[in-house]
Amino acid sequence: MFDSLDSLNRAIVSCRACERLVRYREYIARVKVKRFKDWEYWAKPVPGFGDLNARLLIIGLAPAAHGANRTGRMFTGDSSGSWLIKALYETGFANKPTSISRDDGLILKDAYISAVLRCVPPDNKPSKSEVDNCMIYLMQEASMLKNVRIVLALGIIAFSTYCRMNGISGLRFGHGSSYAVRDRDGRMVTLLSSYHPSRQNTQTGRLSWSMWIEVFRRIRLMLDMLDGSEPKP
């Protein structure tokens, strides 16, 4: 359907398939919040980003209202992004520990970040039809990332969507769960699941930093073993 990630991302950014999500993302951009009142919000669907040769694909839920919906880059400008990028930095997947704006110099190494939805849903609760509408983009994206060996699904919606789009059944979501699966293109990958680093999870203690960073240390070890290099400290 698309001949490159660039053409896919252009289609994503111009998408207006879900009327409810279009209205909401644009409403958020008009109303804003006090701390970002001087920002011009992105307020469009948000494409994935990262290393096109990545072996690690990270799938989140959707842009945050005042995070990626504002900045235009996944996991950028909010607390979830702070947790994710810090963990990627500490395990060698990013060149810096912060993610503030699209032009902040962040570079991902061997990792690519995407999401089930490209627009922010009210209350972070997408409808099934909205997930279905957007799933084609994730499917195309995953197929184009030819070197992916590990998929990290953040939250049960990301986990179940990845399974559904690849015709995988019978797997159970749980923090730290790991499965060897075959994707729709016939490639063997390791599917890992983790609680999403949302405020709801991190501030209640459901997801601690030690739990979170251990997921990325495990991924780093797995990839180091694949390429035969010495494990990184």
Residue 185, classed as helix, strand or coil, is coil
What pLDDT, on a 0 to 100 scale, did the predictor assign at position 233?
A: 44
What's the pLDDT tens digit per position in 111-158?
999 999 999 999 999 999 999 999 999 999 999 999 999 999 999 999
The residue type at 33: V
- The values of phi and psi at residue 111, to 5°, are -140, 145
Residue spans per domain, the chain:
5-227
Q: Which among 103, 99, 101, 127 has a CA at the least distance from the CA of 24?
A: 127
pTM comes to: 0.96
- Contact (CB, 8 A) for 181 and 189: yes
| pLDDT, position 227 | 80
Three-state helix/strand/coil letters over 201-231: HHCCCCCCHHHHHHHHHHHHHHHHHHHCCCC
Per DSSP bridges, beta strands 178-182 and 188-194 are antiparallel
CATH of 5-227, one of 1.10.10.10, 3.40.50.300, 1.10.3720.10, 3.40.470.10: 3.40.470.10
Residue 73 confidence (pLDDT): 98
User: In the sheet where 56-60 sits, what is the strand order?
Assistant: 49-50, 111-115, 56-60, 150-154, 188-194, 178-182
Percent of the chain with pLDDT over 70: 98
Residues of the chain with pLDDT under 70: 229-233
Structure tokens at 218: 């495990």
What's residue 2's pLDDT?
Answer: 87
